Amino acid sequence: MEYSKLGKSGLPVSRLSFGTWITFGNQIGYDTAKELMVIAYDAGVNFFDNAEVYAHGRSEEVMGRILKETGWSRDSYTVSSKVFFGAGGKLPTQRGLHRKHIREACDAALKRLQVDYLDLYFCHRPDKSTPIEETVWSMHQLIMAGKVLYWGTSEWSAQEIMEAHMVAARYNLIGPVVEQPQYNMLYRHKVEVEFAQIYKTVGLGLTIWSPLASGLLTGKYNAGISDDYRLKRDELAWLAERNLIEENLKKVAQLMEFAKEIGTDVTRLAIAWCLKNPNVSTVLLGASKPEQLKHNLTALEVVPLLTDDMMERIESILNNKPQH
C-alpha cells in the first residue's frame, strides 16, 4: 500500500480506502462485511468511511462491532462519519448542520462505531438553512472536545468551502481539511475544474467516491444486468437511470478493449486513472464481495502503465475533458 497526506494536514491516508455505502447493514450480511474489512486492513488500508445515514445508522453499528471484534489498535486506522441527512429521523432537529444536530449526530456515531473519537467528520452536504458560522463553530468545538480530529465537507461547492475557510480564519477556528466528492472517468468537472483554484489556496485533500461509477466501470453492465448488481436495486432506480445510458456503455466497451491491450482490465484501469490525479488523496473503494475488493486493491499496480501517451488515448475514448 502507498500512503499520502490528506491535503495540507499531516494525516497519512492509504491511497486506497474502503467505504460502506449500500453494503454494510443493508446489501450484505455481517460475516461478509467483516471479511471485507479484514481484507482491506490486511492490505494496508487505513481509512474506513461511514456516515450516519448509511442504512440509517446500521452501517456504523456493523463497523463498530467489527472494530471491536478484531481488536485492531486504535492508532492503526482512521474512521470517519458524516453528518447532515440524519440516521432515519424525519424531524428538522434530526438532520442538517445546525449546532444541535452536529453535536447529537457525533455522539450517536461515536456510540454506534464504539470509538472515543472520529478521525474525520464530514458535513455530508451543505446546509443552506444554517449560517455557515454556526457549522464551522460546531465542527471546531467537536475538535476542541476531543471527539473529532479533522473535519471536512462532502459535495460542497468551491465557494462554500472558501466561505468555511474565511469564517475559520476570521474567528481563529480550525477549518475543513478535506472534501469528499464524486470522481470517476465519467464524472469529472468538480474535481478537475471547480476545485482547481482551491487546491492551491486552502490545500484541499480529496477522498473521492464512486471511482467505478457504482460498478459501471467494471464492464459488467455491458453484459447485461443481474439481480445482485447494485444498479438493479429498487432504491437506486434514480442512479441507474442516470448512469446506465448508451453513451456510458459505449465508452466502457472501448475502455475494456484498451485495458486488455495494455495488459489489465477496465476495473483496475478506472481506479488507477483516479489515482493518477495528484489532487486525489485517497480513492474510496466499495465492494459487495470479497473477490471484488481483492481485485480492486491491486489497482495501484496499474498506475505506472498510465504514461502521458496512455492517458491521452484514454482521453480520446472518454471525450469528456471538462473545460476550464
> Is 288 near ligand NDP (CB under 6 A)?
yes
Q: How near is the Cβ of 171 to ligand NDP at its closest, in Å?
A: 27
Site for ligand NDP in 35-74 (CB under 6 A): 49
Q: How near is the Cβ of 224 to ligand NDP at its closest, in Å?
A: 13
Q: Quick check: 15 and 2 in contact, CB under 8 A?
A: yes
| Residue in this structure with the C-alpha cell 456515531, named with its chain if needed | 109
Burial of 298 (0-12, 13-18, 19+ CB in 10 A): middle
Site for ligand NDP in 201-240 (CB under 6 A): 209-215, 218, 220, 229-230
SS3 content of the chain, % helix, strand, coil (to 5): 50, 15, 35
Which of the ranges 20-28, 98-106, 193-201, 237-245 carries the binding residues for ligand NDP, by CB under 6 A?
20-28
Q: Which residues belong to the active site?
A: 54
Burial of 145 (0-12, 13-18, 19+ CB in 10 A): exposed
Between CA 242 and CA 236 the distance in angstroms is 10
Burial of 29 (0-12, 13-18, 19+ CB in 10 A): exposed
> Is 23 near ligand NDP (CB under 6 A)?
yes
Of 109 and 170, which CB lies nearer to ligand NDP in the complex structure? Answer: 109
Of 133 and 298, which CB lies nearer to ligand NDP in the complex structure? Answer: 298
CA 262: distance to chain centroid? 28
Between CA 208 and CA 16 the distance in angstroms is 10
* Total residues in contact with ligand NDP, by rule CB under 6 A: 28
Q: How near is the Cβ of 19 to ligand NDP at its closest, in Å?
A: 2
Q: How near is the Cβ of 8 to ligand NDP at its closest, in Å?
A: 20
Site for ligand NDP in 116-155 (CB under 6 A): 154-155
Which residues of the chain form contacts with ligand NDP (CB under 6 A)? 19-21, 23, 49, 154-155, 180, 209-215, 218, 220, 229-230, 267, 284-288, 292, 295-296
